Amino acid sequence: MGNLDKLSKFISLVLRHQPDAAHITLDEHGWANVEELLTGINETGRKIDMETLEGIVATDNKQRYSFNQDKTLIRANQGHSIPVDVELKEQEPPEFLYHGTATRFLDSIMNEGLKPMSRLYVHLSKDIETALKVGKRHGEPVILKIHSGVMYKDGYKFYLSENGVWLTKKVDAKYFEAIRD
Ligand code: HQG
């Protein structure tokens, strides 16, 4: 992994899960002060300046981070495990969404439904290809086809993050089936 990738991973950890790791705190909307973040990261022995941070935000392959307008604040767009309100937009989902997971989780998922586990939301993708990548991170992948349109009609809320990830609180097993890719 390149140095920038490592830094990006660390920033993801700090902004989504463990601000302590860079000796900072997030506000209720998930924002970190950019100056504090840069100082905190440098204190861990990693080297970063504003230009590097701007590069990471601009080139991140999943557009994970956003600055505020004057670039004094930064936050992760989604993926948090700590309870912050990133002002997600509630939105009507497409008829189907997809979730990639590992075959070893299937029994549990079929019994309990899809749960957010350590994160605030269940993460869903609009295409199978993305879901497959997510599933592969966990092991032998399997794709779940989510009947999001039906869920929406049944009153479940969906949110679309700034970087195009669909989020919902929970998916009951009656709303999905495992498919082949
Ligand atoms: C599984 C990445 C057992 C769930 C991706 C998943 C995504 C259950 C795992 C984002 C379960 C949690 C999120 C149940 C769900 N029993 N297992 N009842 N319900 N699971 O990493 O969706 O690169 O927290 O299927 O692109 O894999 O980090 O969630 O396998 O958008 O930016 O529990 O992370 O983005 O794993 O990934 P995760 P995820 P980043």
Average pLDDT of the segment spanning 140-160: 98
Average pLDDT of the segment spanning 138-165: 97
Q: Show the ligand 1 pocket: residues with CB < 6 angstroms.
A: 62, 64, 79, 101-102, 105, 108-109, 112, 114-115, 117-119, 123, 134, 138, 165
Contact (Cβ atoms closer than 8 angstroms) between residue 122 and residue 158: no
pLDDT band at 180 (very low <50, low <70, confident <90, very high): low
For 38-51, the pLDDT digits (tens) are 999 999 999 999 99
Residues in CB range of 180: below 8 A, 6 or more apart: 143
What is the chain's mean pLDDT, rounded? 96
How far is ligand 1, taken at its centre, from the CA of residue 156, in Å?
Answer: 19
For 90-127, the pLDDT digits (tens) are 999 999 999 999 999 999 999 999 999 999 999 999 99
Contact (Cβ atoms closer than 8 angstroms) between residue 110 and residue 65: no
Residue 4 has pLDDT above 80, yes or no: yes
Quick check: pTM over 0.85?
yes
Ligand 1 test: best mutation among 60, 98, 123, most atoms within 8 Å of CB? 123
How far is ligand 1, taken at its centre, from the CA of residue 73, in Å?
Answer: 27
Tokens 């869903």 appear where?
124
- Tell me, what's the pLDDT at 1? 78
Residue 181 has pLDDT above 80, yes or no: no
How far is ligand 1, taken at its centre, from the CA of residue 50, in Å?
Answer: 31
- Tell me, what's the pLDDT at 2? 83
Tokens 């830094």 appear where?
7
- Tell me, what's the pLDDT at 41? 98
Cα 92 versus chain centre, distance: 19
**Whole-angstrom distance, CA of residue 50 vs CA of residue 95:** 41
Q: CA geometry: angle at 131 spanning 125 and 136, to 5°?
A: 150
How far is ligand 1, taken at its centre, from the CA of residue 70, in Å?
Answer: 33
Residue 74 has pLDDT above 80, yes or no: yes
Residue 138 has pLDDT above 90, yes or no: yes
Phi, psi of 58 (to 5 degrees): -70, -35
Q: Which residue has the higher pLDDT, 1 or 93?
A: 93
Percent of the chain with pLDDT over 70: 99
